[in-house]
Structure 1
């Protein structure tokens, strides 16, 4: 798939304003000096290629995005700040393209030379990297030391100068031989002697002691955790929390006593409260029904009226009998007064008995009053007096009742809080009647926990271990201090016995520790293990190095044969159809190229010319042909894009037409060309030649 630039979006790029260039196959970007062409080329180098810094670019901070198609299924974006460049995609896709394709695909400032420091602008190194696998071969050859490249294998042994890896191999073989001899000597004097048997026993008892010590450290870990748990339990049921609970229970008891006293006082005035309610109701009934005015007249009134009436009648009668005139008016007055009293009694009696219900209520009030207070009711005045006296006690009772309610609420809240504290401490609900008993239980538990904590502290003190020494992993055995003591005694006895054999082994052990770098006090079994490990490593290193040297010797032989074929391959690739055709079309004269030593020669039908001796225009035409031909060759014929910054400015006017025509032909084959120019003649040639052929695929941009 062809790889080309779909569009260029720039922002704040030197003299260029923000704009977007949607490209075709052949793109002519025209602008005068200082119009921003160089900024645009450097922006493309910064955005697309990883090796842009190999050019001497200006220190700018371009902003914008380049959109490429053909690398992936979707359009790929590049910018100066993007971490991935086009080389990364080529490497992932295993294109096998040259590392620095930017040198092939970009001509900057009209410099068509592939290598600025080489005569003619190109050399063997450039061609080798582009046209052959010589660069890889050089890397392979350079990775092999010269002494190894010259070494030989004779009678299945490596023969060569004792330098570099050959010397390293000889040193390894000598060390391996020395360590084999030392191990054999140790086997004879130590491994099969009495000292080894004693050390084996010491190792066994030491292992048992280590197990006991680990078990002790694990036991200490368990005890330490248990002590932490006990302390946590003790802290929960003692100290400030327990004291607070005890104080709250005491205060709750006091509140209970106050509640009982207040209840008794309220009970003591309950009669007055009941009487107050009755009196209040009686006064209301008495006043509403006017019972005070509807009472029956006194019987004394009827007796008095009757007596006076009878006395007056008797006096009047006696006056008639005895003719005592002075008694007439006396009798008549007395009888009249008696009659009036009887009449008044009758009216009052009639009024009092007119509404029987009122009379019944009045009688009920009178009867209840007498029952409560033990004396007859005289009237509304008496009722009001008793109501006023009862009201005082009623108000006191109400105040005490409110206080009683508040006490009950406080007692309920305190009770709930105390129950919650008991539950937190004992993890059970403790009712009020059991508080005292459970307070004692908590105190006893605290004392028991203190005793258990002290016991654990003494046991840990006997262990004589720091917290960092504890082991959290469970052990296979249970710690037994007696077993530890017995094992230590047995170890001491065996070490005394070993000491009698030790002097003759010290020298041998010292030689071994020179290899292992162990301390001289390290047990023999460990020293032997380390020594055998070193022998194994030396043996493996000898095998590895031998195999590596043998492989490199074989590879050197192959590389020598391949290198003999590389120069011929370069010549063949220099004269491929792609390069030869472009060379002839662009120059109109030269038909092929040759590589002699490090110089490129151009060949016409008559002779060959060193590239460095040709005119600037001819040399640049050849360099452009090489650039396009090599790029086409290494891409396997797959069209790419090429950026030409006034690449034809040094060519004569007649040759420019051929160059522009070849550029149009290149675009017709699928290559994308981006040509930047300030030359009016080149601009006109492109518009004259390219536009009719490529039509909409030719794009023209003019920079202000």
Structure 2
């Protein structure tokens, strides 16, 4: 833990982790490296073997590839190649001329803006769809107009029905009144025959009541005569419109409920048709303007598609001509960068071109037969270069040379890497020892020996055992990680002050403390702060961070004597 704070061990360990154990355990004598046959050392041995084999291959190339008979064939091949090259240049010139013809055709084709035409075709298609949709919606509207033609009349009729309360119209007194009258009259006769005065009186009263009721109902019947005419007319018109009898208000309410949704839909569609008609007219006008710009003349809507098809047909014809020329150009198989503008000394002749090319191939075939004996050699070379066996010899030899350089470069780099890493690992081991000695020397110094008991008032010595820091009092030894947090703060404060004085002596630098006394008890904090002030008085800059109000107030109180050399900052206010 101490090395982590006071040495570069963590950095050295990271460096050493990148050095394999094979290199660390190896022995180096100049460029002679001995070690276990694995990892980098094994790779170096393999590279040495590769270089030996490549050197042997170059010796075989010198002996077998540079033969005289093969050279004669090469000379003959050179003559044919010269004639072939002239014909090839003539072919390139022809390719150039065809390419210019293609450019001229393409220029004409570009004047027919296919993108604009396709755009207009799409716009016209969309317009036709919109018109068709508009017509379909008009048909739907006509159906709705037919199904809702009685809606307004029905709504008015319901209002009138409710206004005059037609359901309360009094009907003409029915036959029951006559029957009751006859019965009572018969009772009067009977009571008269029986000479029953009481019966006669009661019967007369009943008769008077029947007459009075009949008169009142008949008067009401006469008073409702106008309403009866209205309801009769209403029922007749309802019958005529709906082909069914009107019995009551509920029937009309049901009717209007059934067609109300269609009526509302009709109103919506009428609004939509108005908007769609406006949009169709605007689109029609816009397309007409664009057609005029494209064709440079005005034509009717009925000829739009015909004219656009003519334009597309013109472009297709040009494209076919371009395609034919491209096929002709492709058969010549000449890349554009290879075109030759200038007229050549020979005229391209396809038959001669083929003949010379065939003769050239025959010479190559003869050379190839001579190269049969080199197959084994070539195969061996390809194994090293990872080339395909069909590669040309000159390229193959170049690749073999590149492979030799590549292997040699890797061998040198790997050798340098092994030697470098070996030396780095040895230096790191030496630095480990030096830093351990430096830390132990510092821990055993008089400054730290005096500082530790002054700050902690309990522990007397501090030492380093392996990688563990041990503090001791009069009786026992304690690993630092086992003591309390407050005690740790005091030990590390003593170490910081002591090491600063020991290593930097009279040099005045700075120390930063971040809540260094947070776990120390309140009685010990003034003593710890006194040690910091003592260090500050010797010229050191001390920077303390804390969120503990007690520590802040204690610092304010203790450092007043420093006057202008003390600054307080509240980070929340900055």
Is 1:173 matched with 2:48? yes
Matching residue of 2:544: 673
Distance in 2 of aligned mates of 1:655 and 1:640: 20
For residues 533-592 of structure 1, the C-alpha deviation after alignment (integer angstroms, 9 at most, x for no partner) is 212211222222223223333444444433332210222344678866754542245565
CA RMSD of aligned residues (A): 4.6
Distance in 1 of aligned mates of 2:491 and 2:547: 20
Within the candidate set 592, 609, 625, 2:494 is matched to: 625
3-state DSSP of counterpart to 2:524: helix
Matching residue of 1:550: 419
Question: CA 1:182–1:211 in 2, change beyond 3 Å: closer, same or farther?
Answer: farther
Distance in 2 of aligned mates of 1:559 and 1:510: 48
- Contact map agreement 1:214 1:475 (CA 8 A) in 2: no
Structure ranking higher in strand proportion: 1
Q: Which runs of 5+ in 2 are unaligned?
A: 112-319
Matching residue of 2:122: none
Matching residue of 2:17: 142
Matching residue of 2:227: none
Question: CA 1:593–1:459 in 2, change beyond 3 Å: closer, same or farther?
Answer: same
Question: CA 1:638–1:615 in 2, change beyond 3 Å: closer, same or farther?
Answer: same
Question: CA 1:702–1:209 in 2, change beyond 3 Å: closer, same or farther?
Answer: closer
Matching residue of 1:126: 4
Question: CA 1:543–1:460 in 2, change beyond 3 Å: closer, same or farther?
Answer: same
1:468 Cα deviation from its structure 2 partner: 8.9
Where do 1:228-247 residues align within 5 Å? 228-229=103-104, 232=107
Question: CA 1:638–1:210 in 2, change beyond 3 Å: closer, same or farther?
Answer: farther
1:516 Cα deviation from its structure 2 partner: 2.5
Question: CA 1:136–1:207 in 2, change beyond 3 Å: closer, same or farther?
Answer: farther
Within the candidate set 391, 416, 430, 1:561 is matched to: 430
Is 1:532 matched with 2:398? no
Give the TM-score normalised by the residue count of structure 1: 0.43
Where do 1:282-681 residues align within 5 Å? 463-465=329-331, 469-471=335-337, 478=344, 481-482=348-349, 484-485=353-354, 487-574=356-443, 583-590=452-459, 593-602=462-471, 609-612=478-481, 614-626=483-495, 637-639=508-510, 641-644=512-515, 647-665=516-534, 669-677=540-548, 679=550
1:622 Cα deviation from its structure 2 partner: 0.5
Question: CA 1:615–1:161 in 2, change beyond 3 Å: closer, same or farther?
Answer: same
- Contact map agreement 2:452 2:459 (CA 8 A) in 1: yes
- Contact map agreement 1:214 1:471 (CA 8 A) in 2: no
Question: CA 1:559–1:197 in 2, change beyond 3 Å: closer, same or farther?
Answer: farther
3-state DSSP of counterpart to 1:642: strand
3-state DSSP of counterpart to 2:406: helix
- Contact map agreement 2:93 2:343 (CA 8 A) in 1: no
Q: Which has the larger radius of gyration?
A: 1
Distance in 1 of aligned mates of 2:454 and 2:325: 102
1:497 Cα deviation from its structure 2 partner: 1.8
- Contact map agreement 2:4 2:10 (CA 8 A) in 1: no
Matching residue of 1:313: none
3-state DSSP of counterpart to 2:520: coil
Give the TM-score normalised by the residue count of structure 2: 0.51
1:595 Cα deviation from its structure 2 partner: 0.7
For residues 182-228 of structure 1, the C-alpha deviation after alignment (integer angstroms, 9 at most, x for no partner) is 33223322233534653576578669857865774575246413542
- Contact map agreement 1:600 1:610 (CA 8 A) in 2: yes
Distance in 2 of aligned mates of 1:137 and 1:154: 25
For residues 479-509 of structure 1, the C-alpha deviation after alignment (integer angstroms, 9 at most, x for no partner) is 8535855641441231232243243233332
3-state DSSP of counterpart to 1:699: coil
- Contact map agreement 1:148 1:553 (CA 8 A) in 2: yes
Distance in 2 of aligned mates of 1:176 and 1:191: 22
- Contact map agreement 1:571 1:594 (CA 8 A) in 2: yes
3-state DSSP of counterpart to 2:510: coil
Is 1:160 matched with 2:35? yes
3-state DSSP of counterpart to 1:515: helix
Aligned residue pairs: how many?
Answer: 360
Structure ranking higher in helix proportion: 2
For residues 78-106 of structure 1, the C-alpha deviation after alignment (integer angstroms, 9 at most, x for no partner) is xxxxxxxxxxxxxxxxxxxxxxxxxxxxx
For residues 230-288 of structure 1, the C-alpha deviation after alignment (integer angstroms, 9 at most, x for no partner) is 7748999xxxxxxxxxxxxxxxxxxxxxxxxxxxxxxxxxxxxxxxxxxxxxxxxxxxx
